[in-house]
Amino acid sequence: MKTSTLDFHLAEQLKDPIFIEAWDILAPVYELIRLRIQEGISQKQLAKRAGVKKSTIRRFEDSTTEPELALLRKIAKALDAEVVITIKED
């Protein structure tokens, strides 16, 4: 399988500790965006499924800050997914 430019770039960025910290915080957001796109539904459709406003989904997807767990769970459930939390020691 051919490695995409994005995969290569991500692999390079994941060598940077500052990037890793940000990635760990925002990875669930990126994953839920990926699932929405994979299902072929709009932000409006996802909002209806999740029982939130479209503006909530837009802000969630545009986020550069740590998302609230309750919102992650609502959106995941609307996409037939679940949020799993792992706690690791440093």
Mean pLDDT across 42-59: 96
Q: How many CA atoms, within 13 angstroms, populate the side-chain half-sphere of residue 11? A: 6
pLDDT exceeds 60 at position 2: no
Query: Does residue 37 belong to any structural domain of this protein?
Result: yes
Mean pLDDT value of segment 14-22: 89
Task: For residue 66, give the CATH number of its domain.
Answer: 1.10.260.40
Residues 33-40 have a mean pLDDT of 94
Give the CA radius of gyration of the chain. Answer: 14
CA distances to 17, 43, 47, 64, 90 from 23, rounded to whole Å, are: 10, 22, 24, 10, 16
Q: Is residue 12 part of a domain?
A: no
The better pLDDT of the pair 51, 5 is held by: 51
- The span from the first CA to the last CA of the chain, in angstroms, equals 34
Range of the domain at 37: 18-78
Number of domains in the chain: 1
**Does the residue 48 lie in any domain?**
yes
Average pLDDT over residues 65-81: 93
Task: Report the chain's mean pLDDT, rounded to a whole number.
Answer: 89
Query: Does 45 reside within a domain?
Result: yes
